[in-house]
Amino acid sequence: MKREKRKRRWYRYVIQLIVMALIVSSIPIETIAETMNNDKPVQESEISSTGQAKETTEQKQTSDEKPTEVVEERTEHEKVFDNKNGTFTKKVYTEPIHTEKNGKLEEIQPELVTKTTETIETKTTKLKTNVSKKVRTERICNL
């Protein structure tokens, strides 16, 4: 009887250990590492070689700069950014974010602007719309 209780208790501990291991393994480690690094300031180690020291100061200067968009690499659904450290970041969108205007891809701007005294239209979109400021029984909107 006691032997069976010990055996069941041992199985229970093994099962609990397996469950805990599964739970811990499902946590994304990169997220934990990023949050830990964001809380504490990064400490740089001293470098004896002057060449390596120059590289770290250059990296520090470039890391302070914000990424800039590489306009030549634009597509309808993508933006490419130069991170200023030799790497690039590509952001891909499910919907078009650029539209072609005069042979160049420009960002879609759905804001309404006044074209004439009587009509309003969108800034930059694929579908050109004109909306009349005054409501008439004829045409209110042109697509």
Domain ranges of the chain: 66-103, 108-142
Pick out the chain residues at pLDDT < 50. Answer: 40-54, 57, 62
The mean predicted confidence, pLDDT, of the chain is 76
- Which has the closest alpha carbon to 82: 98, 95, 71, 96? 71
Task: Give the global pTM.
Answer: 0.45
User: CA–CA distance from 57 to each of 3, 89, 93 (Å)?
Assistant: 67, 23, 35
DSSP E strand stretches across the chain = 68-69, 78-82, 88-92, 98-101, 104-107, 109-114, 119-124, 130-132, 141-142
Tokens 């041992």 sit at which residue? 10
CA angle 6, 11, 13 (to 5 degrees): 95
User: Three-state SS for 123?
Assistant: strand
List, for residues 31-69, the tens digit of each pLDDT value: 666 565 555 444 444 444 444 444 554 555 545 678 999
Of 97, 93, 91, 94, nearest to 109 (Cα)?
97
